[in-house]
Chains A and B, each alone.
Chain A
Amino acid sequence: MGAVRLRGAVVLLGGFPALAGVDLGVERGEVVLVRGANGAGKSTLLHLCAGLMRLSAGQGEVLGCDLGDDRAAVRRRVGLLGHETALYGELTAAENLRLWARASRVGEADVPGALEMLGLPPRLRDVPADRLSAGQRRRVALAAIVVRRPELWLLDEPHAGLDSEGRDIVDTVVSAAAAAGAAVVLASHEAGPAGGLATRTVTMAGGMLAEEPGR
């Protein structure tokens, strides 16, 4: 059972075909980098794999769950880092993660460890999230994924807004997750950063995927 299976996936956003027929297969333990220009459809692809979008055509399966009928099950089993960090600004980093852990049915005990892993200084744990910097918020959002320990990680521009230390942490966390058997899909418009991490790179343009030549 692969982590992601897409066949001719079409996703319409307000009538616009953000995905125009994507075929993609990702196995567990793989780290796949999706490269492409802005507007190529990378974020939509990740949202689709997270069970947040309906397929307008084609078939898809994530972690053995159908993207047509079982999106609720998909959503419970993936971790998504999007452009937005999905944190409540008035709540502290720790409160956000505890709420998330609770709703995800995982122990709240992992929260301090996850925040430490992402290198958020302890003094910032109890500061309202909207007082954190953009990079710190992204670390908290990544910590939320660590807390959930999903079988599929979907990271949209994981290095965006992070300093070099943060980027190293992300790389370590992602490789550890892949080593533990999770599948990882990274999206980036740049060739460089996440490249070293990826076991495979695919290119996206016009809502379609192409295998990187000579990978």
Chain B
Amino acid sequence: MGCDAEVWAACERSEQERERPRCDATGSHQFARPLRLFAGDAAAVASKDLRIEWRARTSLGQMLPFAVLVLVLFGFALDANRPTLRLATPGLLPMTMLFVTVVTVQRSVAVESADGARRMLLLSGMAPAAAFAGKAAAVAVQLLIVEALLIPGAVLLYDAEIESIPLVLAACAAATVGLAAAGSLLGAVVAGVRAHQTVLPILLLPVSAPVLIAATRAFADSFGTVAVDGWSWVGLLAGFAAVNAVVGAVAYGPLLEDT
């Protein structure tokens, strides 16, 4: 059944039509490819990850409750003291984002570890930088979903008052990209290692210190708790995001191949 010459012929298309990769195009070939292909590969990887997470209901079913739980627990830790909570909110939000990043990245690593699926990324021949961009983008989207709940949650639970919505949005976006980039790269560092769940936070949290500091300051400005220039802190967040995205794009290839 199904295996006769007709089907074969239907599948068979002239070999000339097909673009055959050549090995003389080495070295820079990954970057010499048109940006469109790069973006297409990245989008394919990202939508793959998001589709998997959607089916597994991880974002809705686990990340969101986890984030809310952290918010509530901070409330207990700070003794339900409203003035203290209001003062601490700009720092509690990035803290929660950091924790959620760790959990999300661990999921993102687990998706590739099952059944040797990571080999697909390598064998497909797509640029490793595109695979990295896709993985990081999927993490970023999930983080943004969680933040969309976190910020209103802080307003409701902690009585925070947002003075500048654009500043909050910009800080969230820049911090998210930075966390997703650094997290996805370090997730690849520990992929395939038995102790990866414990090693990832040890690696990610110290490197993310600038995100915590800068996002705290930017939120402090937008919540009006401290008089600082929030936008310059958004600049620092963007710098962190750019640097870590570039390092990730460069280092992802060796990681995929060696581990």
Contact = CB atoms under 8 A, between A and B. Distances in A.
Direct touch of chains A and B (CB < 8 A): yes
Q: Which residue of B22, B119, B123 has the most chain A CB atoms within 10 A of its CB atom? A: B123
B115 A117 contact: no
Contact of B2 (A70, A76, A102, A116): A116
Contact of B115 (A66, A87, A114, A173): A87
Interface string B118-146: 01111111100000000000000000000
Contact of B124 (A66, A73, A100, A119): A100
B115 A86 contact: yes
Interface string B1-24: 111000110111100001111110
A195 interface: no
A76 B21 contact: yes
A64 interface: yes
A116 B117 contact: no
B147 interface: no
Interface of A: 50, 52, 63-66, 69-78, 80, 82-91, 95, 99-100, 102-107, 110, 113-114, 116-119, 128, 146, 149, 165, 168-169, 172-173, 176, 180
Nearest to B124: A103
B3 A89 contact: no
B51 interface: yes
Dominant secondary structure of chain A at its interface with chain B: mixed
A116 B26 CA distance: 36
Determine chain B's interface SS by DSSP, over half rule.
helix
Interface in B23-68: 23, 25-26, 29-30, 37, 40-41, 44, 48, 51-52, 55-56
Interface of B: 1-3, 7-8, 10-13, 18-23, 25-26, 29-30, 37, 40-41, 44, 48, 51-52, 55-56, 111, 114-117, 119-126, 257
A117 B8 contact: yes
A141 to B, nearest CB: 10
Nearest to B114: A89
Contacts of A74: 23
Contacts of B52: 88, 90-91
20 contacts: A52-B123, A71-B257, A74-B23, A76-B125, A82-B116, A82-B119, A84-B116, A86-B115, A86-B117, A86-B119, A87-B115, A88-B48, A88-B111, A88-B114, A90-B52, A91-B51, A99-B120, A103-B124, A118-B3, A180-B12
A78 B52 CA distance: 27
Given A84-B116, A119-B1, A106 B23 contact: no
B184 to A, nearest CB: 17
A2 to B, nearest CB: 14
A132 to B, nearest CB: 12
Question: Which of B3, B37, B111 has the largest number of chain A CB atoms within 10 A?
Answer: B3
A95 B51 contact: yes
A103 B126 contact: yes
Contact of A52 (B3, B13, B119): B119
Contacts of B30: 72
A73 B26 contact: yes
